[in-house]
Amino acid sequence: MDKRWVIKDEADGALVKMLDQELGVGKKLANLLALRGITSFNEAKAFFRPELSQLHDPFLMKDMDIAVDRICKAIQDNEKILVYGDYDVDGTSAVALVFSFFKSIYNNDGNIDYYIPDRYNEGYGISYAGIDYAAANDFKLIIALDCGIKAEGQIKYAKEKGVDFIVCDHHRPGDCLPVAVAVLDPKRHDCEYPYKELSGCGIGFKLVQAYAKKFDIPFNDIKKYLDLVVVSIASDIVPITGENRILAFYGLQIINSNPRAGLEAVLTFSGVKRLAPALCTKERIFARSLNINDLVFLVGPRINAAGRIETGKKSVELLICDDLVAAMEIGEYINVNNTERKTLDTSITQAALDMILADKEQSKRKSTVVFSQDWHKGVVGIVASRLIETYYRPTIVLTESNGLITGSARSVKDYDIYDAIDACSDLLEHFGGHKYAAGLSMKPENLDAFTQKFEKIVSETIEENMLIPEVEIDAKLELTEISPKFYRVLKQFAPFGPGNMAPVFLTTGLVDKGYARIVGLNHLRFCVMYPGIYKPEYAAIAFGQSDSLQTVINGKPFSICYHIDENEWNGVVSLQLMVKDIKPDPIRQSH
């Protein structure tokens, strides 16, 4: 798939010069800082050295005082509390966090429990079955996490049954808020909380932080939950900026130094090696430093797999487990779920691709909507993402469940798929989500009308360049500018993710040293240098780009855009270029 290369404009020259002088990092890195909105030494210090003291006061969030008071009343009156959350990573990690904290201070004869709805029988969000369960078992308060902001009917129903709700959500509210005791959501229009992009688990952590603050519980007693928060931040793909950056920074520290048993089990089954206790000062230290990508690709899918294939309750059970042996047993069970998930993902993706290819009208469309009643509901979101890798356009994958057509939507860069779905809401029974990902359901008789209307809305609102994948390049860079000091500073830009992506560099006029080859199924490994100049040279790996082999080996100069990373082989660590795209140079470069 052809990609557009877009080089960012350089930051203000005077600002770059000032940052370089004050920080001594060089103009290229000073420019990267300026492009991230950093304008002073103090801001750079806060960026490179996040402090937990920089976290916002949780009571700045609308209704936080009401939420804490209602929980206090429940504990004082010996009421039963049910912690309720969605079945994905964000929801299950949030439930594990809030349940673990309140169980540690309120575990009077099982007065606190948790509930994860069944993806297939109950669907996303607050379910009437979940409310009936709470009422039948004398739960007087439900703390809903990562869901509930659009559950007006369900929460009204709960109120009629004598069950109060505290909603902790981070999705966009509808026109009306539910009649809950408290609604914690920074995205509600009347909330002045300074940071709007917390994950659902992040909202749960702010609730715990508020309770701890009210009762003078030391922050160090709740810091241990930040490993769950960073897993949710990575897996839910929220921006790693502001408060999320601080939470992610310290959450990664915990995972890398002494992870909870459940996360260690997941990482072990994903193939990440752990140092033997005799080789390290703490019992649980991994052989390499884990980063956000590890959580996105190794941890998140496995935690999600339980809810996709069987039940999200297993994920919570894993995350609250404090015994490594027991966690390994649950982890093995979930790993089997993940293997099944991958098999379903592969087969359904191929079926959807075949369906698109057989439909001659698809080539004219600006969106993809595919449906089969036989597809597994648990993997349609993954399949939507896979389809975008081949047909780069807003995509919805649908299946049938409980008499409704239901599914998941994924978008392309800069296009708000939530708004497009919202414009079709007259044809839907339910929908919710974000700019880039959403869920929806409709009556079967509305499918054709929805497909046509969605295509019309997308065609009218999407810009043509959004339909071509983009590689955003931070700066041009010469190989001679890559040095150990340069990389040491660059590493401190992490943790990387939306809002703070790993810098992408462009280098032109390169040739292969002569070792280019295809590795694995379709990956390209080679070594770059300037023509006739053998130093510096850098190993490069281009995942999924075996079709660029001829561009690399034909002896003509080419350009690459890439991240800089480390590669460890036989105990030797060296810098490696992680290539995002390769193009032949139009004009031979001279150096």
CATH classification of the domain holding 373: 3.10.310.30
Q: What is the mean pLDDT of residues 222-248?
A: 96
With a cut of 90, say whether residue 307 has pLDDT above it.
no
Please report whether residue 239 resides in a domain: no
Angle (deg, nearest 10), helices 226-235 and 300-309: 80
With a cut of 80, say whether residue 271 has pLDDT above it.
yes
Please report whether residue 531 resides in a domain: yes
Domain stops at, among 467, 497, 526: 467
With a cut of 70, say whether residue 366 has pLDDT above it.
yes
With a cut of 60, say whether residue 255 has pLDDT above it.
yes
Q: Do strands 139-145 and 164-168 pair parallel, antiparallel, or not at all (unpaired)?
A: parallel
Residues 288, 285: Cα–Cα separation, whole Å: 8
- The one-letter amino acid code at 67 reads A
pLDDT digits (tens, 9 = 90+) for 522-568: 999 999 999 988 889 999 999 999 999 999 999 999 999 999 998 87
- The one-letter amino acid code at 157 reads Y
Average pLDDT, the chain: 93
pLDDT digits (tens, 9 = 90+) for 136-190: 999 999 999 999 999 999 999 999 999 999 999 999 898 899 999 999 999 999 9
* Measured CA angle at 172 (ends 241, 52), to 5 deg: 30
Neighbours of 517 (CB within 10 A): 13
Shared-domain flag, residues 14 and 98 = no
Shared-domain flag, residues 482 and 398 = no
Q: Report how far apart the first and last C-alpha atoms of the chain are (Å, whole number).
A: 31
Please report whether residue 39 resides in a domain: yes
pLDDT digits (tens, 9 = 90+) for 323-360: 999 999 999 999 999 999 899 999 999 999 999 999 88
Angle (deg, nearest 10), helices 89-105 and 226-235: 170
- What percent of the chain shows pLDDT beyond 70? 96
Please report whether residue 265 resides in a domain: no
> Following DSSP, what letter does each residue of 508-525 receive, concatenated?
EEEEE-S--EEETTTEEE
Q: Let me know how long the chain is.
A: 591
Shared-domain flag, residues 71 and 205 = yes
Shared-domain flag, residues 74 and 204 = yes
Residues 154 and 128 sit within 8 Å (Cβ to Cβ): yes
Q: SS3 of 55, please?
A: coil
Shared-domain flag, residues 34 and 91 = no
DSSP single-letter state for residue 274: B
Domain stops at, among 204, 225, 246: 225
Q: What is the pLDDT of residue 184?
A: 98
Shared-domain flag, residues 167 and 64 = yes
Residues 283, 242: Cα–Cα separation, whole Å: 32
CB under 8 Å to 461, separation ≥6 — which residues? 415, 419, 420
Shared-domain flag, residues 36 and 70 = no
- Tell me how many domains the chain contains: 3
pLDDT digits (tens, 9 = 90+) for 420-453: 999 999 999 989 888 888 999 999 999 999 999 9
Shared-domain flag, residues 460 and 481 = no
Q: What is the CATH number of the domain that holds 213?
A: 3.90.1640.30
Backbone angles phi, psi at 512, to 5 degrees: -85, 145
Q: SS3 of 283, please?
A: coil
Domain stops at, among 172, 202, 225: 225
Domain that holds residue 369: 359-467
Q: What is the pLDDT of residue 411?
A: 96
Shared-domain flag, residues 29 and 175 = no
Shared-domain flag, residues 39 and 156 = no
Nearest one of 144, 214, 128 to 180, comparing CA atoms? 144
Q: What is the pTM of this model?
A: 0.89
Tokens of 171: 């999705």
Please report whether residue 308 resides in a domain: no
Please report whether residue 295 resides in a domain: no
Tokens of 530: 């300037």
How far is C-alpha 314 from the geometric centre of its chain's CA atoms?
A: 20
Q: What is the pLDDT of residue 360?
A: 85
Please report whether residue 343 resides in a domain: no
Q: What is the pLDDT of residue 309?
A: 81
pLDDT digits (tens, 9 = 90+) for 41-85: 999 999 999 999 999 999 999 999 999 999 999 999 999 999 999
Burial class (CB in 10 A: 0-12, 13-18, 19+), 236: buried
Shared-domain flag, residues 66 and 81 = yes
With a cut of 80, say whether residue 587 has pLDDT above it.
no
Please report whether residue 234 resides in a domain: no
Q: What is the pLDDT of residue 590?
A: 42
Shared-domain flag, residues 411 and 543 = no
